[in-house]
Homo-oligomer: A and B are copies of this chain.
Amino acid sequence: MKRFSFLALISLIFIAATAQNHHKIQSPQVNDDRTVTFRLKAPKAVKVSVSGDFAPYHAEMTERNGVWEYTTPEPLAPELYSYSFTVDGLRMNDPENVFRLRDVNSISDIFIVSSENGDQTADLYAVRNVPHGTVANVWYDSETFGTSRRMTVYTPAGYESGKKRYPVLYLLHGMGNDEEGWTTTGRAAQIIDNLIAQGKAEPMIIVMPNGNVAMEGAPGETSWGLVQPTGMLPKTMDGAYEASFPEIINFIDKTYRTIRKREARAIAGLSMGGFHSFHIAKEYPNMFNYVGLFSAVVNPRQEGVTDVYKDYETKLQRLFGSKPELFYIAIGKTDFLFDENVAFRALLDSKGYPYEYFENSDGHIWRNWRIYLAQFLPKLFKK
């Protein structure tokens, strides 16, 4: 009888060691005092810097024995940060860090700084030792567009083993993004897992469809092949997607154990997804009880392939006449859509339409959208 071959074991360890070979230095390293150290082995480089949303500048790194290093001078606030290196003018990812996120066509390395007490908004972005929901990529047949289309669906912990019905949040992505944006850069699954575990949000299904109707799904996940993503896709804001939205709701109501009532439906989105959310809610005023606009485009397009953008004020009146439980608007002070949102709120005010408003710093960035989602979720389905 042959026993486990020693040679095979050694070979396996060798493979493992070889694969680890270039990982002898650690980067990024989140230090105990919440400063962060970045390192890059680049003995032949002349100039290396690190940049990202942790600082408003390219930080020059200093070299010693071929390893370039930079430590932030101050502790970083708890947050999920992204960064990359620039080596002699060439942007590159951190070879020591496998955790990366794609946003449209740019890939950045990420790290998370947690707080001491675990009680900050950013602490919701980490995977914690709590019950976890399921995240699935699901295809539905779109009659409107004549194709199968891909969506990401979160079902809360206990969904599979139980018989309960759940409320549904439809959560829409921004321009150039796709059905994976909210669960990758948006950390939506971690945020809702943690909020449910803390008793701060109701268990719910979150449906994240793809709003780029020219495509079947995220780049690389369609029959187009491995086609590089671009920022602007055709047909994203022409009314067709908004008008078609009931087919997504029908698919979800048929496929999942949902509560099929307006009281148990919410819709929210960021940027273009906020635009979609608003115009869908306006077109179907008895469909959603909660509406969230995160850094949203709001003003209707002048042209569209459907009537969705027509009769704006009448539909607005109908929407608020249906008395949604929550109409939530959030935007950052330096967002390029800030003025448009100021004007939109002035319109709502002039008509006496009630809404909840949150304003913070910064502009059109994912950090804000994670914050808005973490704020929005606890407000849903409390009745």
Contacts and interface: CB of A to CB of B under 8 A. Distances in A.
A354 interface: no
Contact of A134 (B17, B139, B161): B139
Interface stretch (A39-47, A55-63, A200-208, A375-383): A39-47
A131 B127 contact: no
A346 to B, nearest CB: 9
Q: Which of A1, A15, A148 has the most CB of B within 10 A?
A: A15
Interface string A141-158: 000000010100000010
A340 interface: yes
Nearest to A189: B137
Interface in A328-342: 336-337, 339-340
Contact of A175 (B5, B12, B161, B336): B12
A307 interface: no
Interface string A1-34: 1111101100111011101101100100000000
A223 interface: yes
A223 B299 contact: no
A219 interface: yes
Interface stretch (A98-106, A241-249, A283-291): A98-106
Given A16-B230, A134-B138, A225-B112, A91 B22 contact: yes
Contact of A16 (B16, B44, B87, B175): B175
Interface residues of A, number: 98
A128 B222 CA distance: 7
Interface in A120-176: 126-129, 131-139, 148, 150, 157, 160-161, 175-176
Nearest to A128: B223
A313 interface: yes
A280 to B, nearest CB: 16
Contact of A92 (B95, B102, B135, B344): B95
A183 to B, nearest CB: 10
A231 B301 contact: no
Interface string A280-309: 000000000000000001011110000001
A326 to B, nearest CB: 23
A8 B98 contact: no
A16 B134 contact: no
A228 B92 contact: no
B127 A139 contact: no
Contact of A1 (B97, B136, B312): B312
Interface string A336-356: 110110011001000000000
Given A95-B92, A98-B107, A3 B302 contact: yes
A228 B27 CA distance: 9
**Which residue, A19, A98, A99, A219, has most C-beta atoms of chain B within 10 A?**
A98
A11 to B, nearest CB: 4
A8 B299 contact: yes
A10 to B, nearest CB: 9
Interface string A42-81: 1111100000000000000000000000000000000000
B225 A126 contact: yes
A332 to B, nearest CB: 14
A321 interface: no
A340 B5 contact: yes
B134 A148 contact: no
A96 interface: yes
- 6 closest A-B pairs by CB: A16-B231, A136-B136, A16-B232, A129-B223, A132-B139, A92-B92
